[in-house]
Structure formats: C-alpha cells, structure tokens
Structure 1
C-alpha cells in the first residue's frame, strides 16, 4: 500500500476478474461490472495475468458467493466485504434486503468511491463504507460505528487479503467474526512455498516478486493444520477447506490430480 493510492494488488485482482469474463470458457464466475470498474486501466505489469492465478481468483469468488447465498437463505442479512478493493458484489448484490459493509484501508475506499462515480456504477442505499487498517484499527469498533449489529448473524467475504497480513491481524479479525452469532467467513490463504507443485513454483515466484515490487509483499504462508487449529480455538465449529484437488474436480471438470497445491479457499462458521 502506498499512501494516497489504491492497493495495486486489489487492482490486479480486479483486472484478472475482468479477464476471466473474456478469456476463460466455461466461465466459473460471472461479474458484469468487472471490466467497467477498471475504467479502462490495465495492470502495469503483464506478468500479473497468469492463467492459474486468474482461475483461482474466479473460483474463490464463486465459492464465496455460493456460500453467501446459502447463508442468506438461512436468514443472514448482514454482509461484510473485508478488504473490499475493487470487489463489485455490493453493486450487483442479488439480495436487496441485506446490508453490505465495505471495509478497506481508507485510501483504497476513498479512491474506489471516486472510481464508482467516474465509471457510472450506482451505489445502492444498502451499502456502507468502513475505513480500517487491519494491522492497527479495531475492526469491531469501526463496524459498530457504521451501524453493524454484532448481535445478529453476518457473512464475511475476505478475498485476497489474508496472504498479506500478519498472523496477529488474521487472528484478531477472525476473533471478531467468531464473536458474531452464526458468524461465517470465506477467505483464501496460501501454504508455505515448499507446498507448491514444482511446475507452479515459477508462477508463484513471479507473483511474489511483482507484489513485493509494488510495496505489498506476501507473507510466508500458513499450514492448513495450524490454521484449522486456530479456527477451532476461536470457536468456529464448521470448516470447509478446498485446495487444488477440489477446485479441479468441482469447478474445472478435471481429474483431481496428485498434487495438493498451495492456494486454498476456506469457509468457516461458528
């Protein structure tokens, strides 16, 4: 993150969502606003557009929004988009009786609101913006100030953020979610680099170099077992964790293969 600028990794992820709409068939995730919100800009470094990364980003959003739809069917009416970046869910939300809280670093949130106005994307009345630095601010306090009711169920979308945060910030954020009755979250994470299949390591090295170059370095990664143990300790009783095998079989129509991979998407519910 650079002072006064939007997150460049958030911009890159948005560009890959847009590219997925145009480049991949069958389409895993549909986002009719993905291209519009970019305002004609493209990532400055073409190495950002890797097919594996593009598909993974599509999968994580599909998995998250499918999980959200199930939560809404159960009665959840609060949706929190953590590290919203250029995510467009709030502006194509199919659930008009929900309240959506977009949470992000203040510079990114302010820039996004300008971009929405510039590109003609309407902001629904049920959207609230919450400025938070995950490493320094109290998420619970900031949400409460914006009207979030911590005594009612809520679903948290947390895409493309955990791999950049400290262990302490991840634990603190999950603790806030765990304190919500019927709190549920979907987030992605990466395992240590030695868990990457050999053929995928050059792509990961390129990505790590790219994001470090824009001032947003990836953390070292976390083992699934350690993460699951932390979730149980915090009070999450239901965990669904999908990696390369499940993604290939469920979303790509391919055999699971024999390599687990390092990128995962996880759903946890209290």
Structure 2
C-alpha cells in the first residue's frame, strides 16, 4: 500500500475501489501524478509513473487538472502528501549515496521509488511488501510500464495483521546483516499496536550496521477522539472533510488504529532499540520545500514524519 497519513483520506472517493487493492494507494498515486503536472521549478515531487496507476475515474480528474494544475483539490492535504513523498525521496537518496545495500518498502502500495530513484537499480536490492490484492495490481502495472518485472525488485505478499512479515522477507532473500532502509509511508496508523511493535522489533533484530527507518505518524489523541480529528484549528485542514474521509476509508477496511502518544516519539523509538530520532512537522517541511512561487501553498498541520537509526 502506499497507505498514507490519515489526512490523505480527505481525497474524495471517485469510483469503485479496485478489487482487492488499496484505495489509499491510488489516492496517493493521484497526488503524485497531479503534482507532477506542475512545471519543474514549481512541483514539490515528481513521479513520471504515478499516472499509470490511476483508474479511469482518477484519470478523468487528471485530464481536468491538466488544463489548470493550480486548482488542486484539498490543497493542504495534497501539499503535505507531496512534501512527504519529497522528504522520503531525499532521505533515501542520501542513503543510496552512502552505501545502502537493501531497501524494504513496507506497505508499498503503488510506490515507484524502486523505478525512479537513481542508483537503486544498480546498487540496491529492493523488497516491496504489501497485501496480495494490491501487490497483484501493482505487478501488472509494472509489467505494462516496463515490459517485465525488474530484476532488482522482489515482491513480497503479506497480511501485516495475521502473518509474520519478517519471516516472509527472509524467505524471499532478505539479508539481515546488510545496511537497509525501511520505508513505512502511510502504514503504521492502519495497524494494531502489536503489529507495529512486532514490525519494529524485527527491524532492530535483523538489520545491519547503519540501517534506518522512516515513516509518518499521527498522535494517539487523534485516534482516540470519537470524531477522528485532531482538534487543532488550521486554515489548511478542513476538519469536516477529514472526519468524513476517515469514515469513508474505514468503510473500505482501512481504519486508523495506531497513534503515538503526543510528544513521546523519541522515547517510543528509543525504548524499541532506535537512536538518532528525528521528527518533522508541517512547519519544518513547509520551510524546507515551499519557497518562492510555492510560499503561499498551505500544508496540513496533522502530518508528521519521523526517522531513526537502528542502535
């Protein structure tokens, strides 16, 4: 899945969900594709393949947006998701240049980093891990784009709630002593707390020196609220839209279940065997990416990113 920060649920549901695949995976591909329509000096992220993962309903909206790319639906959410893609891309590129040996994308959805990040194909073995329905759709799309599945990518089908994803990784050739980056983009808040703990435990016990994780998260207070929203008043966050989007995603089996206690990210990760913890909020990535022509673009205050190194 490229399951995303729960703000991405704000994307309007247009058409029926592909059989067995993740609706959030297509929502985020839509954001990447729409951002990629913008001129090079204006777009926050770029993904030439994202449009190939869109259903006819999404493609219709893309065609309309092509005539006026500045008219972005739900701009605060869109901009935060675009910033998330860019931040994760930049983080990964730094590791590729510093001797990365393996990349594991957990909840891969329609993530295209294995095919568009320079250096991965020649230097790094990539494992894309997700539920079977989404994986099957993804693999067919990749074959349509490239003619065949690339040799440097291994596709691992798993149900994170009921199966041992670590064991499945090892069965598919994962090397636990190699330097590895684990990307969990739009994933952990859809899992039960035990599944999150099991995931992090595997990473700590089965990663080489210098390995790292990067993910996005929400506060537990957002999950615990009966209305499902954060309660923060923010011009970029239409709380009613977020609330309704969360309900829509829950109806499609993608319910938010896990959040980190407010202000406790560092202790949460240190207790689980990580160090060099870094948290990134909307002010941070607004300052990093939204300059010049993009300065007035709003971002959503509910979107947090984090990364850390295995001790």
Q: Normalised by the shorter chain, which TM-score bucket?
A: 0.7 to 0.9
The list of structure 1 runs, each at least 4 consecutive aligned residues, that deviate by more than 6 angstroms after superposition, is 43-46
Aligned match of 1:19: 34
Aligned match of 2:77: 53
Q: Select the residue among 14, 25, 32 that pairs with 1:10.
A: 25
| Change in 2 beyond 3 A, CA 1:61/1:136 | same
* Superposed CA RMSD: 2.9
Distance 1:169 1:235 in 2: 16
| Change in 2 beyond 3 A, CA 1:90/1:122 | farther
Distance 1:262 1:39 in 2: 28
Distance 2:280 2:167 in 1: 32
Aligned match of 1:65: 89
Distance 1:109 1:117 in 2: 12
Aligned match of 1:185: 213
CA shift, 1:198, in A, is: 4.4
Retained in 2: the 8 A contact 1:102–1:127?
A: yes
Q: How many residue pairs end up in the alignment?
A: 267
Distance 2:267 2:125 in 1: 31
Aligned match of 2:233: 197
TM alignment of 1:97-136, pairs within 5 A: 97-120=123-146, 122-136=148-162
Retained in 2: the 8 A contact 1:78–1:154?
A: yes
Structure 1 position 89 matched with structure 2 position 105: no
Structure 1 position 79 matched with structure 2 position 94: no
**Per-residue CA shift, 1:104-154, capped at 9, x if unaligned?**
011211121122234456532111011111112112211111111011110
> Which has the larger displacement, 101-110 or 170-179?
170-179
Distance 2:214 2:128 in 1: 15
Structure 1 position 231 matched with structure 2 position 269: yes
| Change in 2 beyond 3 A, CA 1:244/1:142 | same
SS at match of 1:133: coil
Structure 1 unaligned blocks of 5 or more: none
SS at match of 2:83: helix
Retained in 1: the 8 A contact 2:188–2:258?
A: no
| Change in 2 beyond 3 A, CA 1:44/1:156 | farther
Retained in 2: the 8 A contact 1:178–1:236?
A: yes
CA shift, 1:170, in A, is: 1.4
CA shift, 1:22, in A, is: 1.9
Aligned match of 2:4: none
Aligned match of 1:143: 169
> Which has the larger displacement, 22-31 or 169-178?
22-31
Retained in 1: the 8 A contact 2:80–2:282?
A: no
> Which has the larger displacement, 216-225 or 76-85?
216-225
**Per-residue CA shift, 1:77-107, capped at 9, x if unaligned?**
1011111111111222311211000100112
Q: TM-score by structure 1 length?
A: 0.88
Structure 2 unaligned blocks of 5 or more: 2-16, 63-71, 223-228
Aligned match of 1:32: 48
Distance 1:269 1:207 in 2: 33
